Amino acid sequence: MSAQCGVTLVKRFTYRGDATEEYSNTYWFDSAIPADGTAWRALIDALILQEKTVYPSSVSVVRAYGYSDNAGHRTGDDPPASPAVFSVDLTIAPNSPVPGILSPGANERRQGGDGAVWIRWKTSRLNSKGKAIYLRKYYHPAYALSDAAYDQVSTTQLNALNALGTKLRDGTFAGSRTLSAPGHTDTLPVSGASPYITTRTLHRRGKRKKASA
C-alpha cells in the first residue's frame, strides 16, 4: 500500500463548568509523509483550517500530533502504537490556540456538551456480511436547527460538515491527500453528515454509577 501519515487534532472547550475538557480527532491520509517539521506544521495548519469550520469560537485546537507509522493504530493491532514523530502545543508562545469559526444562524441553538455531530465517508471495502465499511468522525458541540427542531442539526453546521467531508475525499486537500483508515488504501466514493444530533460521551462524564439497592 502507499505511504500513510496521521494527524491528531486536540480540541478544548467548556464542559459542565470545566474549561479544560478536551476531545480529539485523528485523520490518516494516503500520501507522502511530511519530510520535516516545517512540512508537518504546514499539513497540520491546513487541516485545522478545514476542521475549524464545523465548530464555534468557544472550541479551540490546542495541540496536534503527526504520525509517520500506522503500526499499532490499525484495527486489531496490539499495543503499543507507534508514537508521534511531530507535535505542537498551541498554548505555548509563539503559538496560540486556534478557535473555531462556525457562526450559527439566529434561530440555531447550541446543545449540551455531550451533543455531537458526525461525518461519515463510505469506503470501497465491505465487511464479512457484504456491507460497506465507513469512516466516521464526531465533533462537539452540536447546534440544533431551532428550539422546536432540537434533534436536527442546524443548516449552518450541516453545510460545514458536508463541505469538510467532501474536502477530505475529493483530492483537493493539501498535497492532494485523501482520507483513509490506517493500514488501508481506501477509495471514498461519497461522504455525508447526519442531519440528526447524536451523543458521544466525553471523558469527564465518565461511566454512570450503579444505582444502590
Structural domain spans, the chain: 4-203
What does the pLDDT average to over 173-186? 94
Residue with cell 455531537: 116
Ranges of beta strands (E only) in 127-177 are 132-139, 143-144
Q: What is the pLDDT of residue 201?
A: 83
Q: What are phi and psi of 127, to 5 degrees?
A: -85, -175
- CA–CA gap between residue 68 and residue 93 (Å, rounded): 26
- Closest of 102, 100, 105, 113 to residue 147, by C-alpha: 105
- Closest of 155, 132, 134, 152 to residue 144, by C-alpha: 152
Q: What is the pLDDT of residue 72?
A: 87
What does the pLDDT average to over 2-16? 93
- CA–CA gap between residue 202 and residue 207 (Å, rounded): 10
What does the pLDDT average to over 23-45? 96
CA-based torsion, 3, 97, 15, 107: positive or negative? negative
Q: Which residue has the higher pLDDT, 32 or 57?
A: 57
Beta bridge partners of 109: 144
- CA–CA gap between residue 36 and residue 39 (Å, rounded): 5
What does the pLDDT average to over 184-199? 96
Amino acid at 83: P
Q: What is the pLDDT of residue 204?
A: 61
**Strand, coil or helix: what is 71?**
coil
Q: What is the pLDDT of residue 211?
A: 41
Q: What's the DSSP call for residue 81?
A: P
Please give the share of the chain, as a percent, with pLDDT higher than 90: 86
Amino acid at 200: R
Query: Is there a contact between 153 and 145 (Cβ–Cβ < 8 Å)?
Result: yes
Please give the share of the chain, as a percent, with pLDDT higher than 70: 94
Mean pLDDT in the chain? 93
Run of H or E including 86: strand 86-89
**Strand, coil or helix: what is 121?**
strand
What does the pLDDT average to over 157-171? 97
What does the pLDDT average to over 145-169? 97
Q: What is the pLDDT of residue 209?
A: 43
- For the entire predicted model, the pTM comes to 0.92
- CA–CA gap between residue 6 and residue 180 (Å, rounded): 10
Counted residue by residue, the chain has a size of: 213
- CA–CA gap between residue 122 and residue 174 (Å, rounded): 21
